[in-house]
Amino acid sequence: EIVMTQSPTTLSVSPGERATLSCRASQSVSNRLAWYQQKPGQAPRLVVYGASTRASGFPARFSGSGSGTEFTLIINSLQSEDFAVYYCQQYHNWYSFGQGTKLEI
Amino acid sequence: QVQLVESGGGVVQPGGSLRLSCQASGFTFSNYGMHWVRQAPGSGLEWVGNIWDDGSTKHYGDSVRGRFTISRDNSKNTLDLQMSSLSVEDTAVYYCARKGGVGAYDNWFESWGLGTLVVVSS
């Protein structure tokens, strides 16, 4: 089983600033890494797939990078609607999620 | 647009069974693999299982294998999850999700339903 570890657990950032979220895989997942955004009471929503391809509906200030075991989601110029929990997920060997990073003001 | 609507959740006693359904619309259902993902209250996401586009192959997570069964009816655009031998640890919101693309490696979860809550309690 591939274990996904996200850091930090909670990230406090002010609107307009940059947020950097990290995700580490216990073994290489190539670029088969997705990020999801989840707001309270809502379903998760795909943000990035293939480690760096933005999903429709997300602006260019969302940027994913990485390959192998280390991945990053950067959100520039944070807007109020960006504050949520973000999960990374590998789909290289079955499917597993990180524990989430809560992005808060 | 893609729409996935789950139903069938509710309260069930430990050891009981429940069947969830997911109604799909807005895309050619028979072209896409489908997944079930669950989220226990206050917890993260856990993959439950998936089924290929033609229903020929199914896979399950370790915690549900042998107790849960995924099926689909491509003529009705529906996905089902039959759950049996339920325990309190199965209490969660259950989401159906569509595979990212039709390619073999497009295995991210592109679209999600709103979820249905299953509570296992005596």
Query: Which helix or strand (DSSP H or E) is residue A100 part of?
Result: none
Q: Which amino acid is at A45?
A: R
Contact between B112 and A99 using a beta-carbon 8 Å cutoff:
no
Do strands B10-12 and A101-104 pair parallel, antiparallel, or not at all (unpaired)? unpaired
Q: Determine the average pLDDT of the residues in A73-85.
A: 96
| Contact criterion met (CB < 8 Å) for B47 and A95 | yes
Neighbours of B84 (CB within 10 A): 14
* Phi, psi of B88, rounded to the nearest 5 degrees: -60, -25
Output the pLDDT for position B47.
97
Contacting residues of B for A91, CB less than 8 Å apart: 107-108
User: For B79-95, what is each residue's pLDDT tens digit?
Assistant: 999 999 999 999 999 99
Give the pLDDT of residue B50.
96
Q: How far apart are CA A10 and CA A105, in angstroms?
A: 10
- Taking a contact as any Cβ pair under 8 Å apart, which residues of chain A between 44 and 103 contact chain B? 44-46, 49-50, 55, 87, 89, 91, 94-100
Residue B104 binned pLDDT confidence (cut-offs 50, 70, 90) = confident
The rounded distance, in Å, linking the Cα atoms of A77 and A60 is 10
Provide the token pair at B72: 């689909």
DSSP code string of A37-61: EE-TTS--EEEEETTTEEPTT--TT
Cα end-to-end span (Å), chain A: 34
Answer yes or no: is pLDDT of B102 > 90: no
Phi, psi of A12 (to 5 degrees): -100, 120
Other Cβ atoms closer than 10 A to A49: 25
pLDDT at B105 over 90: no
8 A C-beta contact, residue B90 and residue B118: yes
What pLDDT score does B20 carry? Answer: 98
For B3-47, the pLDDT digits (tens) are: 999 999 999 999 999 999 999 999 999 999 999 999 999 999 999
pLDDT tier at B103, thresholds 50, 70, 90: confident
Distance from CA of B86 to the nearest CA of A (A): 22
CA distance B31 to B68: 23
- For chains A and B, count residue pairs whose Cβ atoms are closer than 8 Å: 53
- Three-state DSSP class for residue B76: coil
Q: Is the pLDDT of residue A105 over 90?
A: no
**Bridge partner residues of B94 (DSSP):** B38, B116
Read off the pLDDT of each residue in A9-22 and give the average, rounded to a whole number.
96
